[in-house]
Amino acid sequence: MKRLLFLLLLISTVHASAQKAMDESATEKFVLKLHEAKFRWMVNKRLDSLNNMLDERVQYVHSNGWIQNKKEVIEDIRSGKLTMTNVKVTEAKARVYKGFVIVNGKGIFSGIMDGKPLDISLLYTEVYAKRQNGWLLVSRHANKLQ
């Protein structure tokens, strides 16, 4: 009887671990798609979509040390201070934690900043948090690649 109980417990544990891994994999894929959609929204100036996926307290830390909040990110794109013309993500990986997903990525970012062309390769980290209305970007930090 003890062996049977042990075997059932073992099977249950293995099943729960497999289910958790499948859930984490689905969450990683979803957030990676959201993360890439964010760049398309920036390029296409889909500010409503961008606004809906940025947390109210988001902090954008740019590679030059410039820090922006949600309102500033949206307004700089709306006003044309920052115009993204293309974003090519060359690498992105997500890791799931309880209530959070961390995305580490590399990409080539092209645009116009204050009227001047901008082409830069970046290494970045984004943190997404699970909120009532879905996964929201709560923090982003970027560094220039040589």
Rounded-to-integer distance, Cα 134 and Cα 110, Å: 29
Is residue 22's pLDDT more than 50?
no
Instruction: Kindly report the average pLDDT of the chain as a whole number.
Output: 88
Which SS3 state, helix, strand or coil, does residue 3 take?
A: helix
Q: Nearest-CA neighbor of 89 among 104, 68, 67, 111?
A: 104
Q: What is the pLDDT of residues 92-140, one digit of tens each?
A: 999 999 999 999 999 999 999 989 999 999 999 999 999 998 999 999 9
Find out whether 126 and 140 touch, Cβ atoms under 8 Å.
yes
What's the pTM value of the predicted model, to 2 decimals? 0.83
Place of tokens 């969450």: 27
Chain centre to alpha carbon of residue 102: 7
